[in-house]
Amino acid sequence: MTDPTGWQLIEDWRNGVISDEDFASLQDLLRADAEVRQTLRRSMTMDSALRDRAEAELLASDSDSEFAQGLRESSQSSRDAGIPAAERTITDGQWASKPAVLRLMLATATVVIVALSAGLIYQLAYLQVGIPETNDFATQRRDSDPSVAKITGLSGSLIWTGDRGQIVRELKVGTELAGGTIEGMAPDSWFELQFNDGSTVMISGTSMLTFADPGQKKLRLREGVFSANVVPQPEDKPMLIHTPSAVLEVLGTRFDVEARLASTTLNVTEGKVRMRRLSDGREVDVPAKHRVIAEGGGDLTLQSVSESVNHWKSQLHLRPRGYGKWLPATRQRAAAKKAIPLVPPDNPGLTLYLLGIPVSRSDGPPVVVRSDSQFVVRGRLDKPAKVHFGIAVSDVNGEFAGKFRGDLGGQQPISEPGEDGQFEVVYRIRDFTLDPCVRDREEELAVRPDDRVLNGVWAFTLDGSPSGLEVTEVELISPKKKEK
């Protein structure tokens, strides 16, 4: 195997020190690379031979000796303390009987390897016949898989990956799921899931959420924006939400989370959520109308969240998350987000040139859209084109309220770029109408975006060829600002 990353991941897995993120990377490599699978099979064969030899030697030794008992207690204490196997040590006095030490250590290590192998052995056998990808979810469900939740809303490009590796691209409202991972593939993606007890969770934009409920709800938000309305949970079994930098314990509340690689932002609307930072184990209880940001260092300081603001401006120089290619500022031009191609799964003959910009709650209080406000979009084009513009909004309690377009109520004029390629177009809130992609839920969603919280914006062109669309700034102008 020529990929050193694959070697290291397998070694970390064998030693029991692999992280959740690296374990996911190993799974991806196993799916994609036959050579990695062959290496793992050889490794497991070698482990089996070592185990057989260790068992034979252990039977010949005095496993009930005082030393062996001490080693078992030391190993158990290390496990209880969360010390990785590779970092556990043995005292000088315990090395007095070195042959017995080596035999017992070898036996212990092979037992650990066998235990760690249990999950991947099944997956490896499954990978040898290939992971099916289908649009028919019915063919993937098994009667033995109990449903833990059902889909109550979705739109945009989404992929569900089941716990056995099956992949489904076409999901429907009402479909019951036994667990797995949901990925939002575009800025206009949105997904709502309702657990059997009535708790609802939602992801929006380019996000990835893994969920399960083996008697306790356990979720992992790898990236993106997440919100939830959680009914009261048993005190000894709170909902657990893992992000790359924190763990959240939820007994029942309304909140939203934004997960990034190095930080997690938690905003609590109602109730209380406990956050534990993974880097140092520090905890903080976050009450209603407060926010906290967990990063690698610094204090977990509670921040009071003001009710709302009516003005917002994108800050593309800070390289915000979203969809599209980020272009840093130069002496000649401002930072921008460049549209990239997107082929809708339900219309493979159409290519959009799309970009999306989230409205992050970590930057300040909620941004509320007013009926007499307007959006101003500034950017660059290589040629004249219609710039289509949309927004996603939620209710103040965090529940999804709809997606709306500012270019559907009338004929959207073609944007004519100037000599330097610059353009500016204005969209009035009173002209926004419900986006066609969510009209099947029209009775459940808001009729208008007025007085709703802004979650994100997107823009695209679809003139049959690249337009060179770049957005340098999006601004929501409040009524008070317009009067100045």
> Does 151 lie in the same domain as 72?
no
For residue 166, the Cα-to-chain-centroid distance in whole angstroms is 19
Question: Residue 141 carries which side chain, given as an amino acid letter?
Answer: R
Residue 98, pLDDT score: 42
Q: What is the CATH number of the domain that holds 263?
A: 2.60.120.1440
**67-76, 103-112, 303-312, 324-333: which has the highest mean pLDDT?**
324-333
Tens of pLDDT, residues 245-256: 999 999 888 888
The CA–CA distances, whole Å, from 317 to 27, 75, 320 equal: 35, 51, 8
- Residue for token digits 């070698």? 46
Question: Residue 146 carries which side chain, given as an amino acid letter?
Answer: P
Better-scored residue on pLDDT, 463 or 214: 214
Burial of 91 (0-12, 13-18, 19+ CB in 10 A): exposed
Question: How many domains does the structure of the chain reveal?
Answer: 3
Q: Which of 83-92, 257-266, 380-389, 456-465 has the lowest mean pLDDT?
A: 83-92
Q: Which of 40-54, 251-265, 452-466, 470-484 has the lowest mean pLDDT?
A: 40-54
Residue 163, pLDDT score: 67
- For 121, other C-beta atoms within 10 Å of its C-beta total 14
At residue 481 the predicted structure's pLDDT band, cuts being 50, 70 and 90, is low
For residues 462-480, give the mean pLDDT. Answer: 88
Select from 220, 147, 227, 156 the least CA-distant residue to 187: 156
pLDDT value at 3 more than 60: no
Calculate Rg over the CA atoms of the chain.
27
Separation of alpha carbons 273 and 281, rounded Å: 16
Residue 252, pLDDT score: 85
Are 186 and 152 in contact by the 8 Å Cβ rule? The answer is no
> Does 340 lie in the same domain as 281?
no
Better-scored residue on pLDDT, 346 or 323: 323
| Mean pLDDT rounded to a whole number for the chain | 76
> Does 288 lie in the same domain as 184?
yes
> Does 237 lie in the same domain as 123?
no
At residue 295 the predicted structure's pLDDT band, cuts being 50, 70 and 90, is confident
Residue 13, pLDDT score: 67
Tens of pLDDT, residues 21-64: 677 677 767 766 666 666 666 665 555 444 444 433 433 444 44
Among the candidates 245, 271, 304, a domain finishes at 304
> Does 300 lie in the same domain as 318?
no
pLDDT value at 293 more than 70: yes
Residue 469, pLDDT score: 96
Residue 114, pLDDT score: 40
Better-scored residue on pLDDT, 311 or 346: 311
Percentage of the chain lying above the pLDDT 90 cut: 34
Separation of alpha carbons 183 and 43, rounded Å: 32
> Does 331 lie in the same domain as 290?
no
> Does 198 lie in the same domain as 116?
no
Separation of alpha carbons 139 and 78, rounded Å: 45
> Does 326 lie in the same domain as 339?
yes
- Residue for token digits 């770029």? 417
Are 412 and 389 in contact by the 8 Å Cβ rule? The answer is no
Tens of pLDDT, residues 110-168: 443 443 443 443 343 333 334 344 444 444 444 456 889 999 988 878 889 886 677 88
> Does 267 lie in the same domain as 148?
yes
- Residue for token digits 């992992």? 220
For residues 191-196, give the mean pLDDT. Answer: 93
> Does 152 lie in the same domain as 81?
no
- Residue range of the domain that includes 137: 133-304
pLDDT value at 327 more than 50: yes
> Does 450 lie in the same domain as 392?
yes
Tens of pLDDT, residues 406-433: 988 766 788 999 988 999 999 999 999 9
pLDDT value at 339 more than 70: yes
> Does 348 lie in the same domain as 442?
yes
Among the candidates 96, 128, 160, a domain finishes at 128
Separation of alpha carbons 291 and 133, rounded Å: 40
- Residue for token digits 């921008």? 336
Tens of pLDDT, residues 205-238: 888 999 999 999 999 998 888 889 999 999 999 9
Separation of alpha carbons 388 and 381, rounded Å: 13
Supply angle C-alpha 320, 326, 327, rounded to 5.
125
Q: What is the CATH number of the domain that holds 459?
A: 2.60.120
Better-scored residue on pLDDT, 4 or 304: 304
In sequence order, which residues have a C-beta less than 8 Å from that of residue 144 and are 6 or more positions away?
Answer: none
Select from 383, 386, 465 the least CA-distant residue to 421: 383
**Neighbouring-strand partners of residue 424:** 378
Enter the pTM of the model. Answer: 0.57
3-state SS, the chain, equals CCCHHHHHHHHHHHCCCCCHHHHHHHHHHHHHCHHHHHHHHHHHHHHHHHHHHHHHHHHHCCCCCHHHHHHHHHHHHHHHCCCCHHHCCCCHHHHHHHHHHHHHHHHHHHHHHHHHHHHHHHHHHHHHCCCCEECCHHHCCCCCCCCCEEEEEEECCEEEECCCCCEECCCCCCCEECCEEEEECCCCCEEEEEECCCCEEEEEEEEEEEEECCCCCEEEEEEEEEEEEECCCCCCCCEEEECCCEEEEECCEEEEEEECCCCEEEEEEECEEEEEECCCCCEEEEECCEEEEECCCCCCCCEECCCCECCEECCHHHCCCCECEEECCCCCCCCEEECEEECCCCCCCCCEEEEEEECCHHHCCCEECCCCCEEEEEEECCCCECCEEEEEEECCCCCEEEEEECCCCCCCCCECCCCCCEEEEEEEHHHCEECHHHHHHCCCCCCCCCCCEEEEEEEEECCCCCCCCEEEEEEEECHHHHHC
Among the candidates 98, 113, 128, a domain finishes at 128
